[in-house]
Amino acid sequence: HKIQKSISILSKKALLGNCRYASTSTTKLFIDGKFIDSTTDKWIDLHNPATNEVITKVPQATQDEMNAAVDAARRSFKGWADSSVLHRQQIMFKYQQLIKDNMKELAESITREQGKTLADAEGDVMRGLQVVEHCCSITNLSLGETMTSVAKDMDTLTYRYPLGVCAGITPFNFPAMIPLWMFPMAMVCGNTYVIKPSERDPGATMLLAQLAQDAGIPDGTLNVIHGTHDAVNFICDNPTIKAVSFVGSNQAGEYIYDRATKHGKRVQSNMGAKNHGIIMPDAAKENTLNQLAGAAFGAAGQRCMALSTVVFVGDSKEWITDIKDRAEKLTVNAGDQAGADLGPLITPEAKERVCNLIQSGVDEGATLLLDGRDIKVKGYENGNFVGPTIITGVTPEMTCYKEEIFGPVLVVMEAETLDDAIEITNSNPYGNGTAIFTRSGATARKFINEIDVGQIGVNVPIPVPLPMFSFTGSRASFRGDTHFYGKEGIQFYTQLKTITQLWREEDVEHAKPAVSMPVMR
Ligand code: NAD
């Protein structure tokens, strides 16, 4: 058993092709149950963000390869959709266990390719795993509705059916969680899937595909293709694909929403954010400032739910300098180094963009309370590191406020009253997340009712809902009408059939056929 286990681990490492033990290798495609080398001549170098060494090459799949993936998904659909719901549930039970068993390996792959700390990478896997665990409740989640006697001897019932082939396009910042928001939900409903992970860190998706195969999904039901714009356009245009799930930037998400809906597809598109933390003067100071620093700088700010803007209300502004102490205590280092709190940014370009946005704050009249741009990390001098940065005196017209920074940068604003803080937040186009820190229930209640943001924390800095709820970002942070996971996720990946049936023992004689609209009284 032990030998077999180590063979399986070795084959997984070979499959990933980007492990420590291999020099530069290539990432495979997963089509029709096989991990295959792409025949493309277009490759993308994938760098470890802590060192900028090339660790694997990611193919831009050819049109033939992408067609083969959709074809495999199409062919396997009928058998999979017809399989019993208990069978699909059993696979999910096995899958969640395999993800737990391989947690360490998944986290290592994420740290290597994405840069976040190992502890944070485990959190990334855990939040995805929770969706898989929720999928195990499919027997309840996919129940329809029934009503007897809607008319004499007549009943109505609804069934939830899968859509067919669905597709997902994912961002770089949560290489395990976001793919797991998508294909397990879709597949447990009976759909088959084609996923295109971020070209910057597809390793976790490859391992998750291997584990799904080990859990027993049939060949062709899950396929992984790689690429950038061509792969995205292929997914948006392909007539066999019925629904597209997207998570990423507004630039890509709005484009994908428009293009895929034009082709008649369902689309759910989760996009960028600018999340405001509102600090009331009655908040529990120590806890609030710790939560704020963790949520602003954790994952180097590369979270769509990072608390990247803070509004100090009234006298709480006296605490502004105290955040600096907390930020300075955080350790910036390669994600696999003990004690690291923040890893590097994903690419040198991302670092440059973040540094330019920090400079724009200075140029437009804000103050740098803490500047992390010149940080040097010993042993990782080539990494894309930016240390925690705090910009104070920021006003709504400044570029550093208007743009999503996506780095370890906290933008600090002030407001006289809660109404002013709500006004600032509601005037920002994004509606992904927000959090208020207060000890007053009445203040919190007013905030919840008046804030126009889809996910709200009360003394909770990163209010990402668990999968029995849905991820309900709003306004510019979302396009579509059914959100990821939870009941809405099931709704997104299924369509209803509503059956009205009449069963009567006796045949009834009519003088004449009824031609007016039946009203079923
Ligand atoms: P991105 O938009 O650059 O990439 C996401 C995916 O889209 C990738 O697979 C990429 O290949 C593809 N893509 C990139 N540019 C494209 C274009 N112009 N046209 C078509 N396809 C394109 O996003 P990213 O940098 O990987 O991720 C960071 C962004 O994702 C941030 O804006 C963050 O807020 C957002 N995000 C949102 C959520 C959420 O749930 N709202 C969660 C995580 C990340």
CA of 45 to the centre of ligand 1 (A): 18
Calculate mean pLDDT across residues 190-201: 98
Q: Which two tokens stand for residue 226?
A: 């790689």
Ligand 1 contacts CB of residue 433 (under 6 A) = no
CA of 479 to the centre of ligand 1 (A): 14
pLDDT at position 4 is 52
CA of 18 to the centre of ligand 1 (A): 22
Burial of 502 (0-12, 13-18, 19+ CB in 10 A): exposed
Tokens of 164: 């067919």
Give 18's pLDDT tier (boundaries 50, 70, 90).
very low
Report pTM.
0.95
Does the predicted interface ipTM exceed a cut of 0.95?
Answer: yes
* Cβ neighbour number for residue 40 with a 10 Å cutoff: 16
Two tokens at 120? 């944070």
The reported pLDDT for the residue numbered 20 is 36
pLDDT tens readout for residues 32-51: 999 999 999 999 999 999 99
Length of the chain: 521
Q: Are 431 and 473 in contact (CB under 8 A)?
A: yes
Distance from residue 3's CA to the centre of ligand 1 (Å): 41
Residue ID of nearest Cα to ligand 1 atom 38: 304
Pocket residue to mutate for ligand 1, from 249, 258, 271, 409, most atoms within 8 A of Cβ: 249
Q: Please, what is the angle between helix 85-101 and helix 118-135, to 10°?
A: 170
> Average of pLDDT values for 280-291?
97
* Of 64, 99, 94, 90, residue with least CA distance to 207: 99
Residue 406 Cβ < 6 Å to ligand 1 = yes
pLDDT score of 9: 53
pLDDT at 495 over 50: yes
213 lines ligand 1 (CB under 6 A): no
Question: For ligand 1, atom 16, which residue shows the shortest CA distance?
Answer: 252
Looking at residue 19, what is its pLDDT?
Answer: 43
CA distance 296 to 294: 6
In three-state secondary structure terms, 409 is strand
Question: With bands split at pLDDT 50, 70 and 90, how would you rate the model's confidence at 509?
Answer: confident
Assign 5 a pLDDT band (cuts: 50, 70, 90). Answer: low
Residue reference for tokens 């900028």:
52
Can you say whether residue 314 is alpha, beta or left, with left for phi > 0 and alpha for psi between -120 and 50 degrees?
Answer: left
Residue of minimum CA distance from atom 14 in ligand 1: 252
Q: Is 477 in the pocket of ligand 1 (CB under 6 A)?
A: yes
Q: How far is CA 120 from the centre of its chain?
A: 15
Q: Among all residues, which ones are annotated catalytic? A: 304
Residue 15 pLDDT > 80: no
Which residue, 72, 177, 63, 89, is CA-closest to 141? 89
Q: Ligand 1, residue 477: give the atom nearest the CA.
A: 41
Which pLDDT value is given to residue 108? Answer: 98
Distance 442 CA to ligand 1 centre (A): 37
Cβ contact 308:430 at 8 Å: no
Q: Is 232 in the pocket of ligand 1 (CB under 6 A)?
A: yes
Q: What is the pLDDT of residues 234-266, one digit of tens each?
A: 999 999 999 999 999 999 999 999 999 999 999
From CA 150, how far away is CA 501, in angstroms rounded? 10
SS3 state of residue 411: strand
Query: Does the Cβ of 465 fall within 6 Å of ligand 1?
Result: no
Q: Is 455 in the pocket of ligand 1 (CB under 6 A)?
A: no
Ligand 1 within 6 A of CB of 40: no
Q: Are 275 and 308 in contact (CB under 8 A)?
A: yes
**b/e map of 114-133 (b: 16 or more CB within 10 Å)?**
bbbbbebbbbbbebbbbbbb
Residues 183-199 have a mean pLDDT of: 98
**Cβ(249) – ligand 1 distance below 6 Å:** yes
Lowest mean pLDDT among 321-325, 434-438, 448-452, 515-519: 515-519
Amino acid in the structure at residue 266: R
For residue 328, what are the CA distances in angstroms to 216, 246, 334, 372? 48, 36, 17, 10
Please name every residue paired with 392 in a beta bridge, in sequence order, or none if there are none: 367
Instruction: State which ligand 1 atom lies nearest to the alpha carbon of 227.
Output: 11
State the distance from the centre of ligand 1 to the C-alpha of 515, rounded, in angstroms. Answer: 55
The Cα–Cα gap between 340 and 334 comes to 7
State the distance from the centre of ligand 1 to the C-alpha of 59, rounded, in angstroms.
Answer: 18
**Residue 3 pLDDT > 90, yes or no?**
no
Shortest-distance atom of ligand 1 to CA 174: 43
Ligand 1 centroid to residue 173 C-alpha, Å? 9
Ligand 1 pocket, residue 273 CB under 6 Å: yes
Place of tokens 């579509």: 480
Q: What is the average pLDDT score of the chain? A: 95
Helices and strands (H, E) in the chain, number of each type: 17, 23
| pLDDT for residue 21 | 33
Indicate whether residue 346 lines ligand 1 (CB < 6 A). Answer: no
